[in-house]
Structure 1
């Protein structure tokens, strides 16, 4: 029996549909969510969200947010979420280099915090984009259209 998943950002609904499992980047580590999971609400760190449907895996880069499990429904409210097929790896690499440069040339602690957050988001995007090349996957956005 699958569970209902909604992934929402401020700009759009990224996905809404039935899934078999998901693995999310929680603040205390990876969270595995299966159908009929106990109620849960947690903060999500920047990281990779794995969604499994019918044996197919889909990957998204999350920049943080919240996850709620209630009943057999999971809602992810993400700051930003990009399907692996939406990520331009070259641009993600450039953002990573810019963030590393900002960290080395920072002038205040606030700038350092912002640069480290940018670095983390860029690292996640590069990691997820590379997974597209090395792992069979299914686009979550195409899956939602079916």
Structure 2
């Protein structure tokens, strides 16, 4: 059976380099399932978990935006930040979630509200991936 080469890269360097049977990503237009020999494309990613399936196992990576580039045998994710489930500090993510919720309740400035919303989305994403509830 054919596989895909999967590369997840951030400005800090590579996060994951592996082979997979299937990749499932959350793009701006919805979920996208990618199998070997998929048509070439590029799509913007939403904050969410990127699932990398190989056999009976699935690895989930918390991706905080960016782009996915798909070629027939290679999937490359260029993200501003990404973390594998085993590297996420869930307790720290919960603190960030509470801090973002407090900002949302206290803030009046439109720009600051949007930043707090994004902060909350990232924290929730990290918690879900870190706890395996994706």
Common topology (TM > 0.5): yes
**Number of equivalenced pairs:** 133
Does 2:33 match 1:32?
A: yes
* Bigger share in strand: 2
For residues 12-55 of structure 1, the C-alpha deviation after alignment (integer angstroms, 9 at most, x for no partner) is: 11122321111111111111111111111000010001101122
RMSD between aligned alpha carbons? 1.3
Does 2:81 match 1:80?
A: yes
Could you list the runs of 5+ residues in structure 1 that have no partner in the other structure? 136-146
> TM-score normalised to the size of structure 1?
0.87
Alignment partners' CA distance in 2, 1:17 and 1:84: 15
**Corresponding residue for 1:120?**
121
Could you list the runs of 5+ residues in structure 2 that have no partner in the other structure? none
Does 2:61 match 1:60?
A: yes
> TM-score normalised to the size of structure 2?
0.94
**Corresponding residue for 1:97?**
98
TM superposition outliers: structure 1 runs of 4+ over 3 Å: none
* Bigger share in helix: 1
Alignment partners' CA distance in 2, 1:126 and 1:6: 23
Alignment partners' CA distance in 2, 1:130 and 1:44: 22
